[in-house]
Each structure stands twice: as structure tokens, then as C-alpha cells.
Amino acid sequence: MVTVPPRGRPSAATRVRGSGALAWLAVPALLVFVGFGVIPLLGVLALSFTTWDGLSQDITFSGFTSWSAVLSDPGLPHALWVTFLIMALSWLVQTPASILIGVFLAGRQRYRTLLAVLYFIPLLLSSAAIAITYKALLDPNFGLGAGLGLDFLTQDWLGDGTLAMGVVIFIVSWQFIPFHSLLYQGGVRQIPRSMYEAAELDGAGRVRKFFSITLPQLKYTIITSSTLMVVGSLTLFDLIFVLTAGGPGDATRVLALDMYKRGYQANLMGPASAIAVILVLVGLALALFLRRLGGRDAGASQLEGA
Amino acid sequence: MESRTTSRRTFLTMSMGLPLGAALAACGTSGPGTPGGGGSSGGGGGAKASYWFLSTEPQEGVRRRTAERFNQANPNGQIEFTTFQNDAFKTKIKTAIGAGEAPTIIWGWGGGGLRSYVQAGQVEDLTSWFDQNAAVKDKLFPSSFGAATVDDKIYAMPCETMQPIVLYYDKRAFDKIGAEPPQSWGDIMDLVPKFNAKGIAPFSLGGQSRWTNMMWLEFLFDRMGGPEVFQAVFDAEKDAWSNPVAIDALTKMQDLIKADGFIKGFSSITADSNADQALLYTGKAAMMLHGGWTYGGMKQDGGDFVPGGNLGFMNFPPIDGGKGDPGNTVGNPGQYMSISAKATPEQKEIAKKFFSTELISDKSAEEWVSTGAVPVIKGSEKFFANSPDAEFLNFVVGIANNAKVFQQSWDQALSPTAAEVLLDNIAKLFQLSIGPQEFATNMNAVIGK
């Protein structure tokens, strides 16, 4: 842990000298992480082997009853499927859009800076406020469609399973594309000009430059952004909770919502903790998978020391 | 040089870490302490009882002024109150009770929620207190005690108002199609195509809230089979949901949905935003089955609708061939206050004094009447005369007095675990994604849980 070499390949001397101080620097973060991350996690793991209604003082150890209840419940594969669907679809919508907007915004023109500021606005709003607003706009009788007299906007948006899923993905994308665009904007600006100049000398056009230089050079940005998207949609809760509460029926009940409903609405803390553990495991697995995807060949990108 | 920098850094990190650690420790102690403030320690002069309640007006104002009047009269035994928004309260009170930091006075809806507190040993048994204070008990409507009673013992003080579910209708809509309000289920089914032909939705429904759909099933079950059908579920009889009457009621429910009895897109509408009430007073829907509390909302938001005498109200009509008494009703027979078992003896005394004095005073009753609701306190009728809502208030009292059974809302009567599954399956039933048999099977699985 102490001697993880930073990517810049420091000389042996600095590594030895810096290691003591660096370890100390990690202490505050480590304390917070242990206090608010690891200890509660262990608590949840312990709770998943108990039966507790969240009210009484006695928490009884009950072995694997919570786990077998959760694992045999058809609600779990459904919730996993819904979570996966939201993850995959919102990634598919957000990534191409964010890359394009990010590349566009990386240009130094004035109007683009102005647009960048405008695009950023959805990110400043809280998810709950966004959900309440969209709920009002999508109301079939008093919403946008009825107000403007546009029939195609007057749908049973949140009452039909497929439409509700679409609405969730649309709003998530609307909210987070600005953030990911910002990541890509930064990524594009770090690509050395010299590469484009070389390509131009070889007669490459805009499209060719985008696919042969920009995209490959953005590899790590794509991985970072995808990790944030995937893990973010795994824990997506506030927006769905306010917008559909998992409904209609259980059409948008993601894993995080399933956990909350079991724990705090149905008073089943054991099974809710089991789902929490599953959530952590799935999240860890996905994050590891995406890291692996990045590979270890640091030379693939020429951002540093080109 | 080099070593000095290092040590200064070390010192810096440590000095940064320390206040942080101290801050964490402070969080740990002050966090649970603050909400339970009055709960754990009384001030020098006299003990303080804590009391949490819901923050929506006009009810919040009545609750606050009631507590303030009590505090003025009792300088040595004060009540400290905190307000919470509805959904936040439901979660917060459970967490606080589980952590042993409950407020002295635990406000709630009685029934299954209260039962779970009782089973956890978190609330005081008030049976003997009510025996000693018969005058208090006599001042309250007897029907309000059902949801306060667990295993023949009283664990809560009924308070505030009774809220039966009422069938509201728009007189203008009935004039348009030249029909009378429904006197039977057959009438309802006949009215549906007539309203639809005029472009008016027969019934408004905030289906996304789920418990709104549940009110329909409560009446269908009661009118068709009497209170026994749900009582069997409540008593945890095996396969109680598979009762043929229950299946029949569920089928009738889906028939009405299939006949377009409810406004298009009702699953997208929530009751929280009062959009369902708006549908009625804007003339988009002709009828609405909803709680007594929506009267105040429609009066406030509906412009001329209520004052202009366009709002009609009636009890749910009988169902042809049904066994249930058409006088029965469902809804909230009252709200409930329990005393935390973790409170100190002084705090418990303050709470009991509050229960027997200001909570049931004439002033409180009068204030509740002014919100357009009927208090659970007997003899409140004398305040009706001055109220512009006298007709509605008398109607509600009439229902409460004539009902042989005032069935508590199912989601409040059942345990939280079963209630969650119930609401889930009701939503699916109304979506037509499951049929009556599947509904019964799913519900039978959680009977008694």
C-alpha cells in the first residue's frame, strides 16, 4: 500500500523519501472511509444474517433466513434486470452524446464557452427537484401536453411500464450528459495539438481525425466516465423514488429502491441488508471489470510524455 | 532540512486529523441526542416531554396552537414539539423508536403500525389509565378506539379528526348527462359509458399513490361480503384472500377498469399533488372516491366549486346481492398518540396531562372543526352551526354515527410488511398486469406476516 508507484515513474530516491509523509497524508481520508464506509458495511453484513424489524431492541441472529428469502424472491432477478437495463440504456444514450458534445465544447470559440455554461445548468439542480418538475410536466391532464394542446405529449408517461422506463432514462441522461461532456471536454483539450497537425499533413479530414486520434486518445476518459455512469446508475435512487416510486407496479424498481422499500417501508431490515450486500458486490465487480477493460498498458495513451 | 519538512507535514496531517476526529465524535453524540432532546434529559425547572407531528397546514397550526396552549397553562411541565413532513416522519419515527430515542408522544395512525410498536415493547399500555380517567374515554367516539387497541389493551389515545372515505361527485357533470348519482354498483357501471360519451371521465383516481386504489377495494369487499372478509385476513386465517367473495370483488374492480371507469392515465397521477382532486373540480371527471380530508383541499383550490354548491357527497352505494351493511364506512377513525416506554416518569405524566386536558378541550375541537373536519371529541356538533361547511360536517358525523363498522384503512391496519406487499399487488391489479387469482395467491403468502 505504501509503495504504489505513481504513474509518472518517479526516481527511486523520491519514492523512499516521500513514502513516510505520503502514508500520513492518507490518514484523514482513511479514517473517514473506515468510519463511514467500512464499519457500516460490516454492520450491514452482520444485519443480513439477522431478523430485525428496525423497531425492537433485540436483533435476533437467524442464520441464512434473510438470504434465502431474498434469493428465492422473484423480485430480486426482476430488480437486477431493471437495474441492468437502466445502466445499459443510459450508458448507450449518454456516452455518444457526451463525447460529441464534449468534443464540440473543446473548441476555443466564444459561443462554445457560452453554450458550455448553459449545458451545465441541469447539473446544478437537485435530482428531487428535477423529478418533481418532470412529474408535473408529464401529468396527462395538467401537464405540458395538455397545456400546449400537443396530443403526442399527452401519454400515460409514468403509468405505462415501458414509457416510465424511457422517461427515467431520458431524465437521467438529461441531467448527467453535461457532467460527462465536461469530462470529455477536458480530455480532448489534453490531446497534443502535434498529433492533429501531423494528421493534417497526411491529409486526414475531420471525421478521420475524430476516429483515429480523438477517440483512441479519449480511452481513459471513456473508462472513467463509464465507471461513473455504471456505478451511478447502480445506486440511482432519489430520482426514481420521487418520480415513479418504482412503479407502475414494479416496472422501474431498481435494486436500491427494492432495498429501501424492504427496509424502511416493510420493516424487513435483514433482507434489506442482504440486498445492500448484493449491491456492494455488484458495484465492486463492475468497477473492477471496467478497470481491467482499461488494461495496464500505460503507453496506449500519449497524454503524458508523448 | 528534509526531515524537518517531513515532520512538519506529519504534524499538519495529524492536526488536521484530530479536529476531524473530534468532529466525528461530536456527531456521534449530538446526532441522536438532538431529536430526542427532551427525551433524554429534562431542564432544571421541570421535565419536558417531546412531541413530533406532521407539518401540513391547516392541521399543523391546530396541533401547534394546542401544544402552545398547554405550555402556557403548565409552565413546569412543558411540551417540546418538532414538525416533520409526512413521508419523512414515517421513516424518522421508526428509526428513532428503533434507536431508543423516540419522542415522549408518538403520533401515528394506529392499527398495524401501532401493533409493531407494541410487539417491540416501545409504547406504554394505557388501559389502566383510561380506566382511572373514564371521563376522558367518554369524551371520545367509541369507534375510534378500535385502531388503538392491540390484544384487548389500549395503547394509544385517539385524537384529532375522523376521516371516512366519501364518494364525491360533481353536480354539474350529472346535469350534463341528465342522470342521478349512483344508488348501486349497477348504476355505476351504467353511468360509465354515458360520461365517457360526453368526454368526461367517470372517476378521478390518483393511481400512482396506490392507497388511492385500495380505497375502492375496501368498499367493494365490505359492501359484497361485510367486514368479515377483511377481518379474516387481519386475523391471519389461511388463504383468506381466496374467499370467493374477495375474488368476485377483485373481478368487479377489474371490470370497472376495463370499462374505462377511471380517467385515462390514472397510473401517472399522484394524490400528493392533489391532481386527482383537480380533475373533479375542473370538470374533467364526474366522481371521485377519496378521504374526508380532500374536502378542505377542494374548497381551498377549487375556486367556486365548493362554495357554489357544485360538490356532492355520499356514502359508497350498495352492491347488488352484497351482504355488507351499506351504512358501513372505511377510512381513518382517528389519529393516535402513544407514550414512549422509554420516557421518564415525569415525561409520561406531562403527556398524560396533555391527553386529559388541552388535547380534548373545547378550543381544540373548535379549531379542528374550522379545518372542515370532524373531531373524535364527542359534542363537537355545537361548533358546526357557525361553520360554512356545516352540511359536509353533519354528513361526516352522520356516517360515523350510523356506521356499524368503521373499517380502518387496510394499509394502516396490516403490519408494515404485509401492507407493502398489498399496495404493490393493488398497483399491479389496477394495471391489469395480474388477475384476481394471482392477486389472491400473492397476498395469501404474506398473511400473518
Residue B30 banded pLDDT, cuts 50, 70, 90:
very low
- According to the per-residue pLDDT averaged within each range, which of B238-252, B375-389, B391-405 is highest? B238-252
B273 and B418 together in one domain: yes
For residue range A188-208, what is the model confidence (pLDDT) as tens digits? Answer: 999 998 999 999 899 888 899
For A32, counting Cβ atoms within 10 Å of its Cβ (0-12 exposed, 13-18 middle, 19+ buried), the class is middle
Percent of chain A past pLDDT 70, that is, above it, reads: 89
How many domains is chain B partitioned into structurally?
Answer: 2
Looking at chain A, which residue has its C-alpha nearest residue B11?
A24
Cβ contacts of B424 on chain A, cutoff 8 Å:
249-250
Contact A28, B21 (CB under 8 A): no
pLDDT in the model for residue A225? 92
Residue B447 banded pLDDT, cuts 50, 70, 90:
confident
B283 and B261 together in one domain: yes
| Average pLDDT of the residues in B409-428 | 90
Report domain extents, chain A. 24-295
Residue B15 banded pLDDT, cuts 50, 70, 90:
very low
B267 and B289 together in one domain: yes
| Average pLDDT of the residues in A114-141 | 87
Q: Which of these, B296, B372, B289, B391, lies nearest to B330 by C-alpha position?
A: B289
pLDDT in the model for residue B181? 93
User: Could you list the residue range(s) of the whole structural domain that residue B266 is in?
Assistant: 164-331+408-444
Does residue B449 belong to any structural domain of this protein? no
* CB-based contacts of B188, cutoff 8 Å, min separation 6: B182, B202, B256, B261, B317
pLDDT in the model for residue A246? 84
C-alpha cell at B157: 389515545
B113 and B216 together in one domain: no
For residue range B318-344, what is the model confidence (pLDDT) as tens digits? Answer: 998 889 899 999 998 899 999 999 899
Residue B99 banded pLDDT, cuts 50, 70, 90:
confident
| Average pLDDT of the residues in B371-385 | 86
Residue A278 banded pLDDT, cuts 50, 70, 90:
very high
CB of A17 within 8 Å of any CB in chain B?
yes
Location of C-alpha cell 399543523: B60
For B426, counting Cβ atoms within 10 Å of its Cβ (0-12 exposed, 13-18 middle, 19+ buried), the class is buried
B274 and B422 together in one domain: yes
B131 and B193 together in one domain: no
Looking at chain B, which residue has its C-alpha nearest residue A167?
B268
C-alpha cell at B92: 424518522
Cβ contacts of A266 on chain B, cutoff 8 Å:
416-417, 419-421
Distance CA A146, CA A150 (A): 7
Measure CB to CB from residue B120 to each of A53, A138, A264 and give the nearest one: A53
> Residue A268, SS3?
coil
Residue B314 banded pLDDT, cuts 50, 70, 90:
very high
Q: Do A250 and B265 touch (CB under 8 A)?
A: no
Looking at chain B, which residue has its C-alpha nearest residue A140?
B265
Cβ contacts of A265 on chain B, cutoff 8 Å:
416, 420
Whether the predicted pLDDT of B416 surpasses 70: yes
Does residue B286 belong to any structural domain of this protein? yes
Cβ contacts of A140 on chain B, cutoff 8 Å:
264-265, 268-269
Whether the predicted pLDDT of B11 surpasses 50: no
pLDDT in the model for residue B22? 38
Does residue B291 belong to any structural domain of this protein? yes
Contact A242, A175 (CB under 8 A): no
| Average pLDDT of the residues in A160-189 | 92
Please state, rounded to an integer, the average pLDDT across all residues of chain B. 85
Q: How far is CA A146 from CA A131, A139, B68, B275, in A?
A: 19, 8, 46, 13
For residue range B43-94, what is the model confidence (pLDDT) as tens digits? Answer: 334 688 999 988 877 788 899 999 999 999 988 889 999 988 877 788 888 8
For A108, counting Cβ atoms within 10 Å of its Cβ (0-12 exposed, 13-18 middle, 19+ buried), the class is exposed
Q: Do B424 and A266 touch (CB under 8 A)?
A: no
Whether the predicted pLDDT of A154 surpasses 90: no
Whether the predicted pLDDT of A55 surpasses 90: no
B327 and B338 together in one domain: no
Does residue B6 belong to any structural domain of this protein? no
Of the two residues B213 and A23, the one the predictor is more confident about is: B213
Looking at chain B, which residue has its C-alpha nearest residue A245?
B208
Whether the predicted pLDDT of A128 surpasses 50: yes
Cβ contacts of A267 on chain B, cutoff 8 Å:
94, 116, 415-417
B260 and B295 together in one domain: yes
Q: Specify which residues B329 forms β-bridges with.
A: B406
* CATH code (residue B367): 3.40.190.10
Residue B422 banded pLDDT, cuts 50, 70, 90:
very high
Measure CB to CB from residue B265 to each of A21, A156, A244 and give the nearest one: A156
Q: Which fold has domain A24-295?
A: MetI-like fold (1.10.3720)
Contact A94, A180 (CB under 8 A): yes
Looking at chain A, which residue has its C-alpha nearest residue B420?
A266
Distance CA B351, CA B355 (A): 6
Output the 3-class SS for chain B: CHHHHHHHHHHHHHHHHHHHHHHHHHHHHHHHHCCCHHHHCCCCCCCEEEEEEECCCCHHHHHHHHHHHHHHHCCCCEEEEEEECHHHHHHHHHHHHHCCCCCCEEEECCHHHHHHHHHCCCECCCHHHHHHCHHHHHCECHHHHHHHEECCEECCEEECEEEEEEEEEEHHHHHHHCCCCCCCHHHHHHHHHHHHHCCCEEEECCHHHCHHHHHHHHHHHHHHHCCHHHHHHHCCCCCHHHCHHHHHHHHHHHHHHHCCCECCCHHHCCCCCCHHHHHHHCCCEEEEEEECCHHHHHHHHCCCCCCCCCEEEECCCCCCCCCCCCCCEEEECCEEEEEECCCCHHHHHHHHHHHHCHHHCHHHHHHHHHCCCEECECCHHHHHHHCCCHHHHHHHHHHHHHCCCEEECHHHHCCHHHHHHHHHHHHHHHCCCCCHHHHHHHHHCCCCC
B236 and B326 together in one domain: yes
> Residue A191, SS3?
coil
pLDDT in the model for residue B183? 94
CB of B92 within 8 Å of any CB in chain A?
no
The dihedral sign for the CA sequence B350, B352, B353, B355: positive
What are the backbone angles phi and psi of residue A144, rounded to the nearest 5°?
-60, -45
CB of A39 within 8 Å of any CB in chain B?
no
CB of B98 within 8 Å of any CB in chain A?
yes
Distance CA A258, CA B424 (A): 12
DSSP conformational letter for A34: I
Chain A: closest CA distance from residue B199 (Å):
13
CB pairs under 8 A between A and B: 124
ipTM of the complex: 0.77
| Average pLDDT of the residues in A38-59 | 87
Does residue B426 belong to any structural domain of this protein? yes
Does residue B25 belong to any structural domain of this protein? no
Distance CA B18, CA B4 (A): 21
CB of A73 within 8 Å of any CB in chain B?
no
pLDDT in the model for residue A146? 81
DSSP conformational letter for A53: -
For B87-103, letters b (16+ CB in 10 Å) and e give eebbebbbbbbbeebbb
Q: Do A21 and B264 touch (CB under 8 A)?
A: no
Kindly state the greatest CA–CA separation across chain A. Answer: 75
Whether the predicted pLDDT of A45 surpasses 90: yes
Distance CA A143, CA A147 (A): 6
B133 and B234 together in one domain: no
Whether the predicted pLDDT of B364 surpasses 80: yes
pTM of the model: 0.80
For A200, counting Cβ atoms within 10 Å of its Cβ (0-12 exposed, 13-18 middle, 19+ buried), the class is exposed
Q: What are the CB-based long-range contacts (under 8 Å, 24+) for B10-17?
A: B10/A20, B10/A21, B10/A24, B13/A24, B13/A25, B13/A27, B13/A28, B14/A24, B14/A27, B16/A28, B17/A27, B17/A28, B17/A31
| Average pLDDT of the residues in B147-166 | 92
Whether the predicted pLDDT of A121 surpasses 60: yes
| Average pLDDT of the residues in A259-267 | 87
* CB-based contacts of B27, cutoff 8 Å, min separation 6: none
B185 and B267 together in one domain: yes
Q: Which of these, A99, A90, A92, lies nearest to A185 by C-alpha position?
A: A99
Q: State which amino acid sits at residue B428.
A: K
Please state, rounded to an integer, the average pLDDT across all residues of chain A. 84
- Say if strands B201-204 and B406-408 run parallel, antiparallel, or are unpaired: unpaired
- For A134-154, the DSSP string reads HHHHT-TTTSHHHHHT-GGG-
Q: Specify which residues B78 forms β-bridges with.
A: B48
Residue A164 banded pLDDT, cuts 50, 70, 90:
very high
- Say if strands B285-291 and B201-204 run parallel, antiparallel, or are unpaired: parallel
